[in-house]
């Protein structure tokens, strides 16, 4: 095999035949799941798909670029309400959805602006201010929020005579899959390399020609776009939006998803999204405990397993691969 061919091989999404096999099996499982699982499980999966988009975006920002944002609740709200108002004015939903993402992306640039000067906890606090301000604006403006009842949104009509739940399952699975592929593509491109370079050593990145301002803002734009889409999809699934869906807790939740899943791991972001959707379900009798569980998990993870769930999985795999010898 000549050199160029082998480079091409290395650039493929999936390289090893065995990985192909397992991924194929996983896809089959996910596709068949709604036919075997009870309806409430399917419902939980839908929410996981929706949250995994925001978690993937946050992971690009936190895990890959080394920046941080606690303003995601504001961006979710902007994405959801932009979507809601636009479909309300009979704009087709795909267009409205993309507009919601772009609106969030543009505001994401505002959130990212302090990152040109601030780092770590200072940046976290500055972005937190944005989230709180957006939330308050929606709470206080009936024109923006659609009043006490929020905005009603027409749900999509199921196709292929699927039940509404099953239809929403496939629809949101499809959306999540698109963002999953997009994320894989970004992190393996020149762009992803520049992001990681900024995280690993910003001075060296600049000296090798990475425009810090451009790439930091780009990271904020992209991750905010993801978050805006999450907001839009959530609104569409619920059939309405109101400001209280987007309290500061949502920012924390996405942050927890990234940390629990594992920083800079694409698969981890999905595991993290599953975690933050399932924990509140398990604790539905004791809602007040959810933040406590989040806090404790973050502490435990940072102490014992900084690589998150994904890191744990990798270690397990290594263990089984070497099984009789270890």
> 75 vs 222, which CB is nearer to other proteins?
222
Binder to other proteins among 1, 2, 3, 36 (CB under 8 A)?
3
State yes or no: residue 200 binds other proteins (CB under 8 A).
Answer: yes
State yes or no: residue 206 binds other proteins (CB under 8 A).
Answer: yes
Please state, in angstroms and rounded to a whole number, the distance separating the CA atoms of residues 287 and 28.
34
Total interface residues for other proteins by CB under 8 A? 32
- Shortest distance, CB of residue 8 to other proteins, whole angstroms? 7
State yes or no: residue 312 binds other proteins (CB under 8 A).
Answer: no
Please state, in angstroms and rounded to a whole number, the distance separating the CA atoms of residues 316 and 326.
12
Of 34-42, 90-98, 154-162, 180-188, the segment contacting other proteins by CB under 8 A is: 180-188
Binder to other proteins among 1, 149, 159, 207 (CB under 8 A)?
207
User: What letter does residue 61 receive in the DSSP assignment?
Assistant: I
Coil, strand or helix at 134: helix
State yes or no: residue 314 binds other proteins (CB under 8 A).
Answer: no
- Shortest distance, CB of residue 56 to other proteins, whole angstroms? 13
State yes or no: residue 194 binds other proteins (CB under 8 A).
Answer: yes
Binder to other proteins among 1, 149, 159, 203 (CB under 8 A)?
203
> 41 vs 318, which CB is nearer to other proteins?
318
> 10 vs 160, which CB is nearer to other proteins?
10
- Shortest distance, CB of residue 15 to other proteins, whole angstroms? 12
151's enclosing H/E stretch is: strand 151-152
Binder to other proteins among 11, 149, 159, 303 (CB under 8 A)?
11
Helix, strand, coil share (%) of the chain residues, nearest 5: 80, 0, 20
State yes or no: residue 193 binds other proteins (CB under 8 A).
Answer: yes
State yes or no: residue 307 binds other proteins (CB under 8 A).
Answer: no
Q: DSSP assignment of 152-214, as one string?
A: E-PPPPPSTT--HHHHHHHHHHHHHHHHHHHHHHHHTSHHHHHHHHHHH-HHHHHHTT--HHH
5's enclosing H/E stretch is: helix 3-10
Residue 207 gets the label, from left (phi > 0), alpha (psi -120 to 50) or beta, of alpha
Residue 241, strand partner residues: 151
State yes or no: residue 185 binds other proteins (CB under 8 A).
Answer: yes
Tokens (6 digits) for 286: 């004791």
Residue 152, strand partner residues: 240
Binding site for other proteins (CB under 8 A): 3-4, 7-8, 11, 13, 182, 184-186, 188-194, 196-197, 199-201, 203-212
């Amino acid at each position: 095999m000549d050199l160029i061919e082998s480079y091409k091989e290395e650039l493929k999404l999936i390289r090893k035949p065995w990985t192909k096999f397992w991924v194929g099996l996983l896809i089959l499982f996910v596709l068949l799941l709604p036919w075997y699982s009870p309806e409430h499980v399917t419902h939980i999966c839908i929410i996981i798909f929706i949250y995994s988009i925001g978690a993937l975006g946050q992971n690009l920002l936190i895990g890959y670029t080394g920046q941080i944002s606690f303003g995601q609740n504001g961006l979710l709200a902007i994405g959801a309400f932009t979507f809601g108002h636009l479909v309300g004015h009979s704009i087709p939903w795909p267009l409205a959805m993309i507009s919601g993402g772009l609106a969030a992306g543009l505001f994401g640039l505002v959130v990212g602006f302090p990152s040109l000067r601030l780092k770590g906890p200072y940046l976290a606090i500055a972005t937190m201010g944005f989230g709180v301000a957006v939330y308050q604006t929606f709470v206080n403006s009936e024109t923006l929020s659609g009043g006490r009842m929020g905005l009603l949104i027409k749900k999509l009509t199921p196709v292929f005579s699927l039940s509404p739940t099953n239809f929403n399952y496939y629809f949101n699975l499809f959306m999540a899959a698109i963002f999953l592929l997009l994320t894989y593509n970004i992190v393996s491109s020149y762009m992803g390399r520049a992001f990681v370079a900024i995280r690993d050593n910003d001075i060296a990145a600049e000296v090798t020609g990475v425009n810090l301002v451009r790439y930091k803002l780009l990271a904020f734009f992209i991750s905010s776009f993801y978050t805006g889409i999450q907001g839009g999809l959530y609104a569409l699934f619920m059939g309405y939006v109101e400001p209280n869906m987007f309290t500061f807790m949502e920012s924390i939740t996405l942050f927890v998803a990234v940390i629990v899943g594992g920083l800079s791991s694409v698969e981890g972001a999905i595991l993290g999204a599953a975690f933050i959707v399932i924990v509140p379900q398990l604790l539905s009798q004791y809602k007040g405990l959810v933040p406590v569980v989040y806090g404790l998990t973050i502490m435990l993870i940072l102490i014992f397993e900084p690589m998150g769930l994904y890191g744990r999985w990798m270690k397990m795999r290594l263990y089984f691969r070497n099984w009789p010898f270890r």
